[in-house]
Amino acid sequence: MARAMSFDLPRRVEPELLDLLEAADPRAKRTRGDLRRINRILAALAIVRDGLDRIATTTPLSTILELGAGDGSLMLRVAKQRKSNWPNVAVTLLDRQQSVDALTLAGIRATGWRPDVVTADVVDWIAAPATSRWDLVVANLFVHHFTDEQLAPLLAGLASRARAFFCCEPRRSRFALTGSRLVGLLGAGPVARFDAVTSVRAGFTGTELTALWPATGWRTSEYDAGLFSHCFGAVRVE
């Protein structure tokens, strides 16, 4: 069924409007607020938290890298809920624009976690020699921005830098596409309305991410979560 759906709705990656805006642009600020509200409605925190819990059963988490971290709000909420399970985590927030404010960083520090912000384009970052490795690399609504041709070297680079990887992405389905066209009913602005549809068209289904991840030395899982999300996890077994 998933394979048939993939052919029924081919994957299409196009630029999203938020990526074209400066971090200080009022439209970007509004859209980040829209995304926080949409993430709450989609239970993104619970989905990401449950995915990380699965990984943590076999992989101790003391260093975490979040790709496309945005304003850092998701990782702040993870830190608040998992500070007792994973104490004193060093968490790196990577994004091509600096959108993490001092209040968010202070909130993460208050949990006992140690945040660091890296401003870099992930393509340039992955092309540079690896200087650090993380127990976990995590991404939420980030991987779908890249074509399959771009993802192959990106995922290979991440595999060389991490003991585990987890991402939560849009599910590419006609049901999700219909839902994406209704985010205006949640009060979302024009940027978020456009990007919601674009992101679903660029999303994933079936085992598409498994096929792009390095095949040797990893235990992988790929599954749908909630109404509109698609998740992928990989844990090193070597």
Q: Is 99 left (phi over 0), alpha (psi -120 to 50) or beta?
A: alpha
Residue 77 has pLDDT above 90, yes or no: yes
Average pLDDT over residues 184-212: 94
**Across residues 12-37, what is the average pLDDT?**
90
- This prediction has a pTM of 0.91
Residue 18, pLDDT above cutoff 70: yes
Evaluate if residue 2 carries a pLDDT over 70.
no
Tens digit of each residue's pLDDT (9 = 90 or more) over 57-66: 988 899 999 9
User: What mean pLDDT is predicted for residues 91-112?
Assistant: 95
> How high is the pLDDT of residue 4?
38
What is the mean predicted confidence (pLDDT) over 47-66? Answer: 94
10 Å CB burial of residue 17 (0-12, 13-18, 19+) is middle
Domains of the chain: 2-236 (3.40.50.150)
d(CA 228, CA 100): 26
Residue 132's pLDDT is what? 87
